Structure 1
Amino acid sequence: MIDRAEITVGYLHACGDLETFLALAGDAELRSRSAGTRWTNEELLFHMVFGYMVTRRLLPLVKCFGRLPPSVGNAFAGLLDAGTKPFDWVNYWGSWAASRVYNRHRMARKLRRVTTTLAANLETESHASLGLQMAFPTRWDPFFRPVMTVADLYAYPTKHFAFHAQQLSFLPHTPE
């Protein structure tokens, strides 16, 4: 059973965390390399926001494929997995370029708008709609599972955000 309130609280926490990260980081920290990625901290922060943006765009796709035979979704996911190398290139350079537009001055506003829309849409989803599912390209993201429901997708970006927050090099991190 999906806990809509828990997902919405996760969105609110991500917004608050992003605003805190941006307040803590000066120019030098934002221009510094993140830990474990090729991005700077500012580029990584945008990539964390981008997880919410892409979720908003993936929802109609999951709803569409969720109404088709599973074999269609499996074939599509296989095709996407086969394109992992080009995806990785686009993912890296797309976040690099987009961080110039949605930089430290704009990304918090963007995240608030996107999460507000996601939360409002989540509230209107029927139980049947939340259960629609499709196969996902598991090589694209560690949080993509072989099959994900609409409900899973609503929860995805907050997991993505929290994972990458551990890679911000200007924050003190506790060992796992």
Structure 2
Amino acid sequence: MGRSARIIILEASGSIRTGEASATGVYAMEERSPLDRRAFHAELERVRADFHRLRAEASPTDLRRPTDGTRWTNEQLLFHMLFGYMLVRVLLTLLGVFARLPGVVGRTFARLLDAAARPFHIINYLSSAAGSLYYNHHRMGAKMNRTLAALQQRLDRESTDSLSRGMHYPPRWDPYFQDWMTRADLYRYPTQHYDFHRAQLTLGPTHT
């Protein structure tokens, strides 16, 4: 089979299709819905309110309690949920670099990262355990406010064309990472990550 490259097709409706381009044409086409900016802002406001409520209602005992399905405590997992939004700001910048490079560069980089999935998961655990020592229960609320505001402002500056640009990612690093993700996908990612981990919190009297 000849060399292939991922392409982006922007429909007149605003939806995005991605696929593999080869010498014989396009295959493995995927439909991607456009990013609804108003809905995105509303989702972040939902997350902001929910995060502050979780913090406000959590007792010191709650924060020290182990979570359901992870090795983190509730306080550490709350930071990890915040960290997803912090991380995507870095990933958006990284995408801006790789989207301008030959496809083979990003593809090779993603494969190298994917091969290092095992040490990554160890680092991922330790970094959130350590990060919660600084961005603890008292500090993480303000950090969440600043991070969400920065993402909202950044999205407002994005063009339809910039939202359609993408790069390869290591899918073994996170259940919500895909082999190919556009900038629009990245904006969606941290709330998927937040909602997934929220279900693992063990806060409140029902978990005593």
TM-score band w.r.t. shorter chain: over 0.9
Please state how far the C-alpha of 1:70 moved relative to its aligned partner. 2.0
Identity of aligned residues (%): 47
- The within-5 A match list for 1:29-108 is 29-108=62-141
1:139 counterpart SS class: helix
Aligned to 1:148, the other structure's residue is in SS state: strand
Q: Aligned residue for 1:116?
A: 149
Relative to structure 1, the CA distance from residue 64 to residue 13 in structure 2 (aligned partners, 3 Å threshold; closer, same or farther) is: same
Deviation at 1:158, TM superposition (A): 0.7
RMSD: 1.3
Name the structure where helix makes up a greater proportion of residues: 1
CA contact (8 A) 1:67 1:132 kept: no
1:172–1:59 CA distance, 2 compared to 1 (3 A): farther
Deviation of residue 71 (structure 1)? 1.8
Cα distance between partner residues in 1 of 2:166 and 2:59: 42
- Residue deviations 1:110-161 (CA, integer Å, cap 9, x gap): 0110010000000001111111100110000001111000111011101100
Matches of residues 137-176 of structure 1 in structure 2 within 5 Å? Answer: 137-170=170-203
Letter paired with 2:201 = L
Cα distance in 1, alignment partners of residues 176 and 99 from structure 2: 19
The change in CA–CA distance for 1:87 and 1:69 in structure 2 (over 3 A counts) is: same
Equivalent position of 1:134 in the other structure: 167
Tell me if structure 2 keeps the 8 A contact 1:133–1:148.
yes
Amino acid at match of 2:180: V
Q: How much does 1:11 deviate?
A: 1.2
Shift of 1:69: 2.3
**Residues in 1 aligned to 2:93 and 2:55: alpha-carbon distance in whole angstroms:** 31
Larger displacement relative to structure 2 (3-12 or 154-163): 3-12
2:57 counterpart residue number = 24
Q: For CA contacts below 8 A with separation 6 or more, give which structure has more relative contact order.
A: 1
Aligned amino acid, residue 4 of structure 1? R
Alignment: residue pair count = 173
Instruction: Tell me, in whole angstroms, the C-alpha distance in 1 between the residues paired with 2:66 and 2:79.
Output: 14
Other structure's SS at 2:95 match: helix
Partner of 2:19: none
User: For residue 177 of structure 2, what is the amino acid of its counterpart?
Assistant: F
Deviation at 1:165, TM superposition (A): 0.2
Report the AA paired with residue 71 of structure 2.
R
**1:15-40 deviation line (CA, Å, top 9, x unaligned):** 11111111221000110000000000
- Greater percentage in strand: 2
Could you tell me the TM-score, scaled by structure 2's length? 0.80
Could you give the per-residue CA deviations for residues 41-98 of structure 1, whole angstroms, max 9, x where no partner exists?
0000000000000000110111211122222211111000011112111110000001
What are the ranges of 5 or more consecutive residues in structure 1 without an aligned counterpart?
Answer: none
Return the letter of the residue paired with 2:84.
G
Structure 2: gaps spanning 5 or more residues: 1-33
Return the letter of the residue paired with 1:101. Y
**Partner SS for 2:72:** coil
Counterparts of 1:38 and 1:133 in 2: how far apart (Å)? 33
1:7 to partner: Cα distance: 1.3
